[in-house]
Copies of this chain bind each other. A is one copy, B any other.
Amino acid sequence: MAESDGNRAAYPPGEKKGCDRCTTRLLCLGEGLTDEQLHGLESITHTRGPYQTGQAVYKMEEKFKSLFVIKTGSVKIESISHEGNNLVDGFFFRGDLVGLEAIGADRYQHDAVVLEETRVCELPFDQLETLCSFMPRLQHKILLLLGQKIRHTNSAIVHGRYLTAEQRLLGFLQVLCRKNVLQHDKYRSSVRLVMSKGDIASYLGLRPESLSRALRKLQSKGIIRNYGKRVEILNLESISGSLCK
Contact = CB atoms under 8 A, between A and B. Distances in A.
Interface stretch (A97-105, A113-121, A229-237): A97-105
A151 B147 CA distance: 13
A160 interface: yes
A140 interface: yes
Contact of A143 (B82, B136, B146): B146
A146 B82 CA distance: 25
Interface string A48-81: 0000000000000000000000000000000001
A1 interface: no
- Chain A's interface: helix, strand, loop or mixed, by majority? helix
B129 A136 contact: yes
A147 B142 CA distance: 12
A109 interface: yes
Interface string A102-133: 11110001000000000000000000011011
30 contacts: A81-B158, A81-B162, A89-B154, A89-B157, A101-B154, A103-B144, A103-B146, A103-B147, A103-B150, A104-B144, A104-B146, A105-B151, A109-B154, A129-B139, A129-B143, A132-B139, A133-B139, A139-B139, A142-B143, A146-B147, A150-B150, A150-B153, A153-B153, A153-B154, A153-B157, A156-B157, A157-B160, A160-B160, A160-B161, A161-B205
